[in-house]
Amino acid sequence: MTQIVYEDISYNRTIDAMEQKYIAVRMMLEQNKLLYSNPYFGDAYKQEIKWNMSTQIRRFGQYFFEEDAIAKSKETYMYGTDVVDQKGFEHTTPLGSSKSEETGRLNEYFNNVISVDELLFSPVTRVHKELDKILKGEFVYLNEDPNHFFKRYVQAGYSGQIKTWKGTIIDLETWDFNDHISQVIKPHPVWGVLWNKYAPK
């Protein structure tokens, strides 16, 4: 079993265990996508499937991002603000809601715009009380520019800094998914291994 070590940070979990968790969630989401597309059922059915998938993704985020050894050591998730008064869990690209069927990562997944791996490795930010208060109303689920996902924070009125787990300060206006994958996911000793093995090339 391969132990994970990054700099002076050691994981209690092995990469083999992490991979099995990843495969399980990945398969559940793919199965639920098929269920969601069943033409014989209506909106109430689809809402329940979407809610179930949201729960799976949030549990995945808890296991892979909130409980990540590096993230815990640096008091961040994929992204953070250096403020740790509240361990808020925020999908930087909202999953979406029944209020806005055209937006959200789940709807992009249903419409084959993104893969299951892109869905699972969507950006997650550790927010604090001030930022949590700002991201209210439509900014909870709406992202008008899915290519530059931190613009939602700017539009909501946030003027602070956001850093990657490696400590890089990002440009909230221009940071995109390619930056996210190359500078956040791939350098990580767990996320990078899974992304390189499973994500579409």
Please state the pTM of the whole predicted model: 0.90
For residue 97, is pLDDT > 90? Answer: no
**DSSP-derived secondary structure letter, 141:** T
Report residue 132 as tokens: 């949590």
For residue 37, is pLDDT > 60? Answer: yes
- Beta carbons of 148 and 175 less than 8 angstroms apart: yes
Quote the crossing angle between the two packed helices 43-61 and 15-36, to the nearest 10°: 170
More confident call, 38 vs 183: 183
H/E run at residue 101: none
For residue 56, is pLDDT > 60? Answer: yes
For residue 27, is pLDDT > 90? Answer: yes
Distance CA 68, CA 9 (A): 10
Query: For position 137, what pLDDT does the model report?
Result: 56
pLDDT band at 138 (very low <50, low <70, confident <90, very high): low
Distance CA 44, CA 84 (A): 38
Least confident of 35-49, 86-100, 165-179: 86-100
Query: Where are the chain's structural domains?
Result: 14-198
- Beta carbons of 78 and 125 less than 8 angstroms apart: yes
Query: For position 101, what pLDDT does the model report?
Result: 57
